[in-house]
Copies of this chain bind each other. A is one copy, B any other.
Amino acid sequence: MGHPIEESAALVAEPASDTKRRLLSAAERLFAEHGFGGVSVRQLTAAAGVNLAAVNYHFGSKEGLLAAIFEQRCRPMNDERLRRLGDCVEPADHPEVLERIIAAFIAPALASSADRGGGATFTRLRAALSVEHNELARTLIARYFDATSERFVAALARALPDLSRAELFWRFHFLLGGLYYTMINPSRIAHLSGGLCDAGDVEAVLTQMVPFIAAGFRAPSLDRLSRPRARRKRSAR
């Protein structure tokens, strides 16, 4: 792993060589499109217009390059999500607070401009990685997203106090599914709908997804309705 230390205390403060920037950009795009294992170092360096040896020189390895992408993207995206979450908890009794929480989570993930925490490509990359059994990807996602996801689940719990904890996690899981599938397979809905629906249209996705997911979250609790004061259903076997 002995490669030049980057150790940036200030995240983006590094000027970063042109080669590095080109590699980060090309790798994010190609990994998002084909997954980590689906792209070779040769393809990466060719797409970035740099030498074959540059990946190992600047990032130590192909995996080091993936870690650098996370290092670069995660904090801005989570900051943007939490900033928007903070904006929508103030009037906690507002009827559309649920919609705003959901939008706070998915809008930054869909936004195509990567400059203010938005990152459609990076979201697509995480979706692609979630299929592969890449140990590093698991570690990176847990490290960078656990805290934010827990904050959102907590906000959802406050907005929907009748749901059990298990139900909250399940519904958050279905939210992730809708988001990731949209990023990873936009062509299926385009094909099925005969071109009527375009999953690459961020505004359309937000318009359609937020009310759908919000209505799903508002479905009556099965756990709490069937047993008053119930604790939780056993769902392990």
Cβ of A128: which chain B residues have Cβ within 8 Å of it?
A: 131
Instruction: Report the nearest B residue to A124, measured CB to CB.
Output: B131
- Do the beta carbons of A198 and B37 come within 8 Å of each other? no
A232 CA to B197 CA, complexed, in Å = 11
Q: A27 vs B178: C-alpha distance in the bound complex, in angstroms?
A: 28
| A63 sits at the interface (CB 8 A) | no
**B-binding residues in A (CB < 8 A):** 33-35, 37-38, 127-128, 130-133, 138, 141-142, 146, 149-150, 153, 165-167, 169-174, 176-182, 184-185, 187-189, 191-193, 195-199, 201, 204, 207-209, 211-220, 222, 232, 235-237
CA distance A204 to B166 in the complex (A): 10
Min Cβ gap A28→B in Å is 16
CB-CB under 8 A from A211, the residues of chain B are 219-220, 222
Q: Considering the chains assembled together, what is the distance between the CA atoms of A126 and B236 in angstroms?
A: 26
Residue pair B169, A197 in contact (C-beta under 8 Å): yes
| Among candidates B138, B173, B187, residue contacting A181 with C-beta atoms closer than 8 Å | B173
Q: Which of B215, B220, B222 contacts A218 (CB 8 A)?
A: B215
Name A's interface SS. helix
- Give the residue name and chain of the B residue nearest to A219 (CB): B215
Question: What is the minimal beta-carbon distance from A195 to any residue of chain B, in angstroms?
Answer: 8
Known contacts A173-B181, A212-B170, A215-B218; is-contact A198 B130 (Cβ 8 Å): no
Q: Which residues of B contact A153 (CB under 8 A)?
A: 192
Provide 25 A-B residue pairs closer than 8 Å at the C-beta atoms, listed in order of the A residue. A34-B132, A38-B133, A127-B131, A130-B185, A153-B192, A165-B196, A167-B208, A169-B192, A169-B193, A169-B196, A169-B197, A170-B197, A170-B208, A170-B212, A173-B188, A173-B189, A173-B199, A174-B178, A174-B181, A177-B178, A196-B232, A204-B235, A211-B219, A211-B220, A215-B219
A142 / chain B contacts, CB cutoff of 8 Å: 191
